Structure 1
Amino acid sequence: MRIGLLGTGPWAQVAHAPALSGHPDLDFAGVWGRRPDAAGELAGLHGVRAYDDVDALLADVDAVAVALPPAVQAELAVRAARAGCHLLLDKPLAPTVAQGRAVVRAAAEAGVASVVFFTTRFQSAPEAWITEQAGAGGWFTGRAQWLGAVFTDPDNPFAASPWRREKGALWDVGPHALSVLLPVLGEPRRVTAAAYGPGDTVHLVLDHASGASSSLTLSLTAPPAAAGAMVELRGDAGITLLPEASEGVVPALTRAADALLTAARTGVPDPRDAAFALRITDILASAEALLRGGTHLS
């Protein structure tokens, strides 16, 4: 599969480009970015072509990996799908439900596969744990804390990201927490949200259709010494914690590419596809509306 990379920022540099160039079943064909000089530099590091025209790249490849802000990703994912390209996307899928639906619709109409890179869902030990707990059932409640130090660590390369500054932890790390809880506890019937705590810290409570409840604490403003992720489940089987990942981001993204290859070959949607990411986008948008004085998810 010939694949192109859209994006040249820190995430593209540390995750996407190394994973694509090192994958044995991918032909990393080239890079396009909104800054041509950055595209040329990243392409040069990996010995591939830098494209000035995104449509020219789409015409030359079978798939694209996207490392761009959510609004830009949504727009280009629709264009890529219509050009017949399979989609390896990042979270969040889009900044609005309407844009997310447009991506899902374009992929379905074009018959292309999609996979969204929720990092935890492509790390072997956490994903095995999620599968095990989903099969066990009988959960009473879940609790997730996803605390980042993006805005408190002076050396964090993502601190200057405009979309993270605008959207905060709800949209940046919220997808990670939800991608773990939803497969285990099921869809939420109701969502409540409150912004208590420093900076962008938010709290969500979900009432799941399974009868279980869950709570999420999300922040990019945690002190560096307090940063980290935790998910706890309590139910008939007792208490269990999401295991820590022992692998880096490149192996995880390599597995995401494997999943895209499988979905493209078999025609069977991956459970972490754009449709799943749209469900998460709907929850995030509902929580955002609540934080702005809107209404509950129904």
Structure 2
Amino acid sequence: MPHATPSPSAPPSPLRIGLLGTGPWAGHTHAPALAAHPGVRFTGVWGRRPEAAAALAAAHGTRAYADPDALIADCDAVAFALPPDVQAPLAARAAAAGRHLLLDKPVATTVAAAREVAEAAERAGVASVVFCTLRFAPETAAWIEEQSARGGWYLAQAHWLGSLFAAGSTSEYAASPWRRAKGGALWDVGPHALSVLLPVLGEVTDLSAAVTTPDGAHHLVLRHASGASATATLSLSAPPAAAHAGLELFGEHGRAALPSWQGAGPALHAALDALLAAVRHDRPHPCDARFGLRLTELLAAAGTP
């Protein structure tokens, strides 16, 4: 059984964080950020492949764990780099043990599983942050805050065109079973678009999947509480030359385009900053497990995985 945890409102410093997951996302993004962040002590790594956990731990000067509950017991917080339906039950267990959560998107691919995570975090009084890259990358986070404050938007057009499943793809993520089995672009890159549209345009009051193409592209139409409408085109099968992500707003101020950002590393550093702030100030972050649940509800409404 997990050991007793310090009160979530009075964490030790630095915060002890363990990593669950050993795939490319963990190796390229999570582990380096955890090892480098000055407010964090990288406690250890668990993965479903023990040899991968050992290699990742050795590369970052930490310990590999054979059991996820043992790692959870030794931490104040847990970072997740796992498929969503592996993440969700482990996150609920970690929250029940009093551990703060740095979750990956989507939190889960069923509303019930995402709700279990959100409610477990709320019952335990732990902090949570869902790592939606655009909400934390410094360039896009500032833009989202600015456009939300300006208001007056009439229309948004978002697109995320990846080539993960395009012919000849050599991406490490192309072999991801959950992306192929669980709706691909909708569940993988859909959270990115929604994580910008909601804070800028307000709650979604109506959502429909206008078209889903044979190669797995999704075209969504949304109506927001502000009165604005939005479209989102999501694909993981675009030709490599067409791969691009962007979002444009149109309204009484004219046009505003989402700026480019410097990759996932700085964004995860900022997400860790946000988690530390939520822990220390006992104040929920807007992009928390409850927001992750709302994203899951919208994605489920757009198309069951």
Contact 2:163 2:169 in 1 (8 A): no
Partner of 2:266: 251
Q: Aligned-pair distance for 1:195? A: 3.4
Q: 1:126·1:242 contact (CA, 8 Å) conserved in 2?
A: yes
Measured in 2, the distance between the counterparts of 1:192 and 1:242 equals 23
One-letter identity of the residue aligned with 1:5: L
1:155 to partner: Cα distance? 1.2
* Corresponding letter in the other structure for 2:194: L
**Equivalent position amino acid for 1:270 in 2:** H
Letter in 1 for 2:177: P
| 1:295 paired residue number | none
What is the CA–CA distance in structure 2 between the aligned matches of 1:251 and 1:202, rounded to whole Å?
Answer: 29
Q: Percent identity?
A: 61
1:32 matched to 2:46? The reply is yes
Render the CA deviation track for 1:59-95: whole Å, top value 9, x for unaligned: 1010010000000110100010011110001000111
Corresponding pairs, count = 289
1:75 is matched with 89
Is residue 2:184 matched to residue 1:168?
Answer: yes
Q: Contact 2:84/2:106 (CA < 8 Å) preserved in 1?
A: yes
Counterpart in the other structure of 1:201: 217
- Partner in structure 2 of residue 212 of structure 1: 228
Structure 1 residue corresponding to 2:78, chosen from 64, 76, 92: 64
1:191 counterpart (182, 185, 207): 207
Q: TM-score, normalised by structure 2?
A: 0.93
Give the corresponding residue for 1:115.
Answer: 129
User: What is the identity, as a one-letter code, of the residue corresponding to 2:123?
Assistant: E
Question: What do residues 247-270 of structure 1 show as CA deviations (whole Å, max 9, x unaligned)?
Answer: 231111011001000001101111
- Counterpart position of 1:96: 110
Structure 2 counterpart of 1:51: 65
Distance 2:221 2:169 in 1: 31
TM-score with structure 1 setting the length: 0.95
RMSD: 1.1
Q: Distance in 2 between matches of 1:78 and 1:277?
A: 13
- Alignment-derived partner of residue 237 in structure 1: 253
Residue identity in the other structure for 1:171: W
SS of 1:14's partner is helix
The Cα shift of 1:37 comes to 1.0
Q: The residue matched to 2:303 in structure 1 has which SS?
A: helix
Please give the residue correspondences for 1:78-157 in structure 2 after superposition, counting only pairs within 5 Å. 78-152=92-166, 153-157=168-172
Q: Which runs of 5+ in 2 are unaligned?
A: 1-14
CA deviation vs aligned residue, 1:243-297 (integer Å, no higher than 9, x gap): 111x2311110110010000011011111111111111110000014xx9xxxxx
Q: Which runs of 4+ in 1 moved over 4 A?
A: none
Paired residue for 2:19? 5
CA contact (8 A) 1:198 1:221 kept: no
Contact kept, 8 Å, 2:138 with 2:266, in 1: the verdict is no
Distance in 2, Cα, partners of 1:131 & 1:250: 20
| Aligned partner (choices 242, 255, 263) of residue 278 of structure 2 | 263
